[in-house]
Amino acid sequence: MNRHDGLKWLSTVLLSGLIWSNAAIANTGTDALEGGNGVGADALEGGGTMSADALEGGINASPVKCDGQSPCIETSTGLPLKVLPRPFSNIYLEQQANANAVAMANVQAFSPLYVFAREGIDLSDPSEPQGWYQVGSNATQAAGWMQARDALEWRQALVVAYTHPGGIAEGRKPVLMFKDAESLRSIVDAEDMASKAAGVYAAVEKSEPPESVISMEPKRYIDINRQFYILPILDWEQLDIYGDEVRLLQIAAAVPGQRGADTLNDSGYMDQANTGREVDQGAGLDNLSIDVVFVMDTTRSMQPYIDKTRDAVKRMVQATGDRLKDKVKFGLVGYRDSVAAAPAVEYTSRNFTPELVDANALIDVLTNDAKATPAGSLDYAEEVFAGVDVGLRSEWRPGALRFIVLVGDASAHPRGHPQNTTGKDETDLRRELDDAGVHLISIHLQDQRAAEDHNQAIVQFGQLAQVRGSDGQQALIVVNAFKEGDFEAAVDSVVGGVVTRFEQSLALRSLPPPPPMPEYGADLDTATQGQVAINKVWEAALIEYLGKGARPPKDIVAWAMDRDLLNPTDTALEVRVLVTREQLSSLVQALDRVLEAFEKSEKSQGQFFEALQSLSGQAMKRPEDLGHAQNLAETGLLPSFIQSLPYHSAILSLTNDMYASFTPEQRVQLEWGLKAKLAQYVAINEEVDAWHRLNESDPASELVHPLHIDYLP
């Protein structure tokens, strides 16, 4: 999803009014702050009420069922109701705020608690919520009672996450967090917004922030997949800036397992937040290592390039000797075409290095094992996506910077093509590369005899090589396949460039300054293309690594804009949905049945819903719902939490007539798109580090993953 589309998603999410109940926008009372330190009342004030229009269509809480024994269930989603404690709140043994009846004092702020009962809850006045919640840190036992004024009902597991900030020179500014909407709006509404915002950033840079700015995102990158945090949305306002819709968000900030407010009044937090993204402060550059996996076309035209890649690695070894033997590891994946369509090619994709190896071992593999096949394919395109799919699942070393170098002369079979074996395309794989922390450099060999294939290949190779955090920049090298020395120059610049930037980073103990950029629009030779590409991806990768030394802010409520204040075209916050393994599993099972129904209706020439009913009736609590359903959402087949999320889904709106009207191409694209998402769910489920605890006592089944909202069907 590009930045523009991501904002469309955010707009859909927020405008639906389904994120938070009225309690979520209640002001924090001063009693809740007594006994605490680090966050003044101003830091937690500023929560307004949503407009009547925004409340229509679902912001008012849907019915909740409580049986007194297990967590309350929100009927529209089937999910247990949870609340987020405000800072410095207590859990009491009974429904009385008595200091002698405290069951748990100073509960961790914004760490979700299960609700077992709701007594006297009245949220009609957001400034004075009334009543009590019986709460517990797990789904099996209540711990006591919490005042409604001290808690926020969390009706949807939707959060926002910081985007990759980009490079030093062209990246976005960190998110500033204001004490109230008025302070933020005074900048956004200013005649010279950029100038006023620049003044605030300058003051923060000098450790002299205005009182209106209570905290900030660190300059260094905080990757939610590796340093888990949550930023729930409490309230929002929509504005128009230069004809583009932006949102001012009231957010809570929390880090599971940690407590203590992080404000700019705290010099320790201020110093670490102001540390430049290029600086090693706590990340441990001494432990830096890099993994480079070549994903190469091994069809019959490619043997000369396999040999030249081997020679480039040899030259790197000659230049560095053994000093990088343990620091730099390599891998090799070969790809050809679908074996089912062309058995003579022997394999679709093959991992020649199940475990990554040193440079000398890679030279042996390139010399003895990785041979181009003499067999031909059915068409010019190859199974590029299958190769990348295998490559990104390499046995990467923990903590290593991860790079793929893609080398090929043909485009990939698009998703839905009979010879596409993964069901994925460049967009699907780009998302997976981002989540896996893998940076890809593409080398596209161009044979003028196949000029009609070049445009499609460039789109695919370029999208795969998009530089993380950039505004569409690509680490793409275009090589004339028949120009002497072109490929050697390209592969030398990549292999040698990675090693050079690595050693420079270790020597400087920071991100090396980028070399002078070529003049815009200049016709670059392949060596220069390679240098530019490696500089871009190295910067993006090392910024991610150095971000490990930073920590996200926590235990505050503040207002922030979802865009860069200096450059509002850059997205600063993106939407995620927290899912448990059980929810992901139920989604997989439901989509499996939908795909089976697609296949059955095709074979029998029958109606899609009839096929779905025959396959799913026994698995449903109310199979009769299928017979009356007007669309897939009404069947009750998909998990209720999916149906309640405020996003547009082609699957949920699918009807018999719609499916019948699809062309064969549209049906194939729909089916293969779902298969690609299923593969992504499987990969996420198997990734141990992708799952996080919201509370220390959470069982394994309650671990959550911050899923991109565009991963949903």
Q: What is the pLDDT of residue 131?
A: 95
Q: What is the pLDDT of residue 642?
A: 65
Res. 61 pLDDT band, cuts 50 70 90: low
Domain boundary among 153, 171, 201: 153
Q: What is the pLDDT of residue 322?
A: 82
CA–CA dist 482, 446 (Å, integer): 8
Give the DSSP H or E segment for 674.
helix 664-686
What b/e string do you get for 492-518 counting C-beta neighbours within 10 Å, with b at 16 or more? Answer: bbbbbbbbbbbeebbeeebbbeeeeee
Q: What is the pLDDT of residue 540?
A: 96
Q: What is the pLDDT of residue 320?
A: 85
Residue 290 in contact with residue 498, Cβ under 8 Å?
Answer: yes
Would you say residue 445 has pLDDT above 50? yes
Based on the domain organization, do 501 and 649 belong to the same domain? no
Residue 628 DSSP one-character state: H
**Helix (H, G, I), strand (E, B), or coil: what is residue 464?**
helix
Q: What is the pLDDT of residue 1?
A: 37
Would you say residue 6 has pLDDT above 80? no
Residue 81 in contact with residue 121, Cβ under 8 Å?
Answer: no
Edge-to-edge strand order for the sheet containing 144-147? 102-104, 91-92, 144-147, 130-136, 113-122, 82-85, 151-154
- Least-confidence region, from 233-237, 283-287, 460-464, 571-575: 233-237
- Least-confidence region, from 14-18, 555-559, 614-618: 14-18
Residue 266 lies in a domain: yes
What does the pLDDT average to over 267-293? 92
Would you say residue 35 has pLDDT above 80? no
The single-letter code of the amino acid at 562 is D
Residue 41 lies in a domain: no
| Closest by Cα among 10, 12, 47 to 29 | 47
What does the pLDDT average to over 414-418? 90
Based on the domain organization, do 524 and 410 belong to the same domain? yes
The percentage of the chain sitting over the pLDDT mark of 70, rounded to a whole number, equals 83
**Helix (H, G, I), strand (E, B), or coil: what is residue 197?**
helix
List of E strands, 395-486: 401-408, 438-446, 476-480
Would you say residue 469 has pLDDT above 80? yes
Give the DSSP H or E segment for 305.
helix 303-320
Residue 527 in contact with residue 515, Cβ under 8 Å?
Answer: no
Show the domain range for 659.
579-711
Residue 583 in contact with residue 639, Cβ under 8 Å?
Answer: yes
Q: What is the pLDDT of residue 47?
A: 31
As given in the structure block, the two tokens for residue 517 are 């950029």
Residue 694 in contact with residue 111, Cβ under 8 Å?
Answer: yes
Residue 413 in contact with residue 383, Cβ under 8 Å?
Answer: yes
Residue 234 lies in a domain: yes
Based on the domain organization, do 351 and 499 belong to the same domain? yes
Q: Which residues pair with 80 in a beta bridge?
A: 73
* Residue partners of 507: CB distance under 8 A and separation at least 6: none
What does the pLDDT average to over 429-434? 94
Based on the domain organization, do 85 and 173 belong to the same domain? no
Based on the domain organization, do 203 and 74 belong to the same domain? no
| Closest by Cα among 443, 425, 354, 437 to 389 | 425
| Closest by Cα among 519, 454, 443 to 486 | 443
Q: At 113, phi and psi to the nearest 5?
A: -120, 145
- Least-confidence region, from 212-216, 227-231, 376-380, 492-496: 376-380
- Least-confidence region, from 93-97, 450-454, 605-609: 605-609
What string of H, E and C letters represents the secondary structure of 121-154? EECCCCCCCEEEEEEECCCCCCCEEEEHHHEEEE
As given in the structure block, the two tokens for residue 216 are 């900030």
Based on the domain organization, do 135 and 193 belong to the same domain? no
C-beta contacts of 308-314 below 8 A and 24+ residues apart: 308/487, 308/488, 308/491, 309/366, 309/407, 309/491, 310/362, 310/363, 310/366, 310/367, 311/488, 312/488, 312/491, 312/492, 312/495, 312/496, 313/359, 313/362, 313/363, 313/366, 313/495, 314/363
Residue 564 lies in a domain: yes
Task: Pick the most confident of 250-259, 483-492, 514-523.
Answer: 483-492
The single-letter code of the amino acid at 116 is F
Q: What is the mean pLDDT of the chain?
A: 83
Residue 49 lies in a domain: no
Q: What is the pLDDT of residue 24?
A: 31
As given in the structure block, the two tokens for residue 426 are 């460049």
List of E strands, 573-686: 573-580
What does the pLDDT average to over 365-374? 94
Would you say residue 187 has pLDDT above 50? yes
Based on the domain organization, do 408 and 526 belong to the same domain? yes
What does the pLDDT average to over 415-426? 91
Would you say residue 330 has pLDDT above 90? yes
As given in the structure block, the two tokens for residue 263 are 């404000």
For the domain that residue 415 is a member of, what is the CATH number? 3.40.50.410
Q: What is the DSSP string of 362-381?
A: HHHHHHHT----S---SSS-
Based on the domain organization, do 252 and 331 belong to the same domain? no
Give residue-wise pLDDT tens across range 266-278: 999 999 999 999 9
Give residue-wise pLDDT tens across range 66-125: 988 899 988 776 778 888 898 889 999 999 999 999 999 999 888 889 999 999 999 888
Residue 383 in contact with residue 421, Cβ under 8 Å?
Answer: yes
Q: Is 279 exposed, middle or buried (0-12, 13-18, 19+ CB in 10 A)?
A: middle
Residue 5 lies in a domain: no
Based on the domain organization, do 149 and 268 belong to the same domain? no
Q: What is the pLDDT of residue 3?
A: 36
Instruction: Please give the C-alpha separations between residue 465 and each of 271, 431, 434, 666, in angstroms, as whole numbers.
Output: 34, 11, 11, 27
Q: Helices 486-508 & 303-320, crossing angle to 10 degrees?
A: 30
Whether the model clears a pTM of 0.75, i.e. scores above it, the answer is yes
Q: At 410, phi and psi to the nearest 5?
A: -130, 155
**Helix (H, G, I), strand (E, B), or coil: what is residue 18?**
coil
Based on the domain organization, do 435 and 321 belong to the same domain? yes
**Helix (H, G, I), strand (E, B), or coil: what is residue 118?**
strand
| Token pair 């170098």: residue | 405
Domain boundary among 153, 177, 202: 153
Based on the domain organization, do 605 and 516 belong to the same domain? no
CB atoms within 10 A of CB 11: 16
CB atoms within 10 A of CB 100: 7
Would you say residue 55 has pLDDT above 70? no
For the domain that residue 138 is a member of, what is the CATH number? 2.30.30
Number of domains in the chain: 4
Q: What is the pLDDT of residue 645?
A: 63
Instruction: Please give the C-alpha separations between residue 187 and each of 102, 179, 190, 193, 264, in angstroms, as whole numbers.
Output: 43, 13, 5, 6, 19
CB atoms within 10 A of CB 665: 9
Res. 639 pLDDT band, cuts 50 70 90: low
As given in the structure block, the two tokens for residue 382 are 């190859």
Domain boundary among 97, 128, 153: 153
What does the pLDDT average to over 423-445? 94
Residue 497 lies in a domain: yes
Would you say residue 694 has pLDDT above 80? yes
Q: What is the pLDDT of residue 46?
A: 29
The percentage of the chain sitting over the pLDDT mark of 90, rounded to a whole number, equals 51
Would you say residue 301 has pLDDT above 50? yes
Give residue-wise pLDDT tens across range 512-536: 887 777 777 778 889 999 999 999 9
Q: Which residues pair with 329 in a beta bridge?
A: 291
Q: What is the pLDDT of residue 33?
A: 27
More confident residue, 652 or 165: 165
Would you say residue 198 has pLDDT above 50? yes
Residue 440 lies in a domain: yes
Based on the domain organization, do 63 and 209 belong to the same domain? no
